[in-house]
Copies of this chain bind each other. A is one copy, B any other.
Amino acid sequence: MSVRARPPFGGLDASMEVISGKWKVLIRWALRDDPQRFGALKRQVPGVSEKVLARQLRELEQDRVVRREAYDDRTGLRVEYSLTPRGIDLYQALKPLGDWGRRHLAPDAAPDRG
């Protein structure tokens, strides 16, 4: 059943399909402040292979969360990746979830009330 056909679970299940995948979270995190080149992105996402990183970036582009820009500078073709306005909006929407993770899952998180 495609996402569109599924009953609207508050827009959440459609969002989950866009954000899911452990690498995408880390890629968006690496792009949160500035555009990055492929190599710099790879260094900031521990454990990802070039092949997987390239595929994840393509998917993020298809979901219009990331933009790929290629341009000529004095040294030749330069390619940079950055968050689109939709990607920046997603990054903001995920902050409360990151806060939840720090509250409940971090090694020093306070014990829950149950």
* Residues of chain A at the chain B interface (Cβ within 8 Å): 1, 3-4, 6-20, 22, 25-26, 29, 46-47, 64, 67, 84-86, 89-90, 92-107, 112-114
Contact B86 A11 (CB under 8 A): no
Residue of B whose beta carbon sits closest to that of A100: B93
Given A20-B20, A93-B97, A112-B85, verify A25-B9 contact (CB < 8 Å): yes
Interchain CA distance A29-B8 in the complex, whole Å: 11
* Residues of chain B with a CB closer than 8 A to A103's CB: 11, 89
Contact A10 B98 (CB under 8 A): yes
Contact A102 B10 (CB under 8 A): yes
For the complex formed, measure the closest distance between the CB of A103 and the CB atoms of chain B, giving whole angstroms: 7
